Amino acid sequence: MNESNHAPDVAESRLAGARIAYIFPGQGSQFLGMGKDLAEKYPIARQTFEEADEALGYQLSRICFEGPEEQLRLTEITQPAILTMSIAALRVLEGRVPKPTFVAGHSLGEYSAHVASGTINFADAVRTVRSRGKYMQEAVPVGVGTMAAILGMKAEKVEEVCRDAAQGEVCSPANINSPEQIVISGNTAAVERGAKLAEERGAKRAKLLPVSAPFHCSLMKPAQDRLELDLNKLKTQKPVYPVACNVEAVFVTNEQRSLQTLIAQVTGAVKWEQCMRLLIAENVQTFVEIGPGKVLCGLMRQIDRSRTCLNVGDEASLAKTQEQFGS
Instruction: Based on DSSP, count helices (H) and strands (E) in the chain, helices before strands.
Output: 15, 10
> 10 in a domain, yes or no?
no
Choose among 242, 194, 251, 197: nearest CA to 217: 194
Q: What is the pLDDT of residue 17?
A: 52
Q: What percent of the chain has pLDDT over 90?
A: 92
Name the phi and psi angles at 87, rounded to 5: -75, -35
Q: What is the pLDDT of residue 18?
A: 78
Q: How far apart are CA 23 and CA 288, in angstroms?
A: 6
Q: How far apart are CA 71 and CA 298, in angstroms?
A: 27
Q: Output the CA angle 138-142-147, nearest 5 degrees.
A: 100
Q: How far apart are CA 90 and CA 77, in angstroms?
A: 20
Asked if residue 108 and residue 201 are part of one domain, the reply reads no
Helix runs in 140-204, H state only: 155-166, 188-200
> 66 in a domain, yes or no?
yes
> 2 in a domain, yes or no?
no
pLDDT band at 142 (very low <50, low <70, confident <90, very high): confident
The mean-pLDDT minimum among 39-48, 147-156, 206-215 falls in 206-215
Q: What is the pLDDT of residue 268?
A: 98
Asked if residue 157 and residue 24 are part of one domain, the reply reads no
Write out pLDDT tens, residues 121-132: 999 999 999 999
Q: Please tell me the pTM assigned to this model.
A: 0.93
Q: How far apart are CA 270 and CA 68, in angstroms?
A: 30
> 13 in a domain, yes or no?
no
Catalytic residues: 107, 216
Q: What is the pLDDT of residue 11?
A: 41
Is 255's pLDDT higher than 90? Answer: yes
The boundaries of the domain holding residue 203 are 145-208
Write out pLDDT tens, residues 266-287: 999 999 999 999 999 999 999 9
> 236 in a domain, yes or no?
yes
The mean-pLDDT minimum among 9-18, 39-48, 89-98, 309-318 falls in 9-18
pLDDT band at 4 (very low <50, low <70, confident <90, very high): very low
Asked if residue 249 and residue 121 are part of one domain, the reply reads yes
> 4 in a domain, yes or no?
no
In CATH, what number is assigned to the domain containing residue 202?
Answer: 3.30.70.250
Q: What is the pLDDT of residue 253?
A: 96
What's the number of domains the chain is made of? 2
Q: What is the pLDDT of residue 179?
A: 97
Q: How far apart are CA 124 and CA 55, in angstroms?
A: 8
Name the phi and psi angles at 22, rounded to 5: -90, 130
Asked if residue 261 and residue 195 are part of one domain, the reply reads no
Strands 19-24 and 145-151: unpaired
Is 7's pLDDT higher than 50? Answer: no
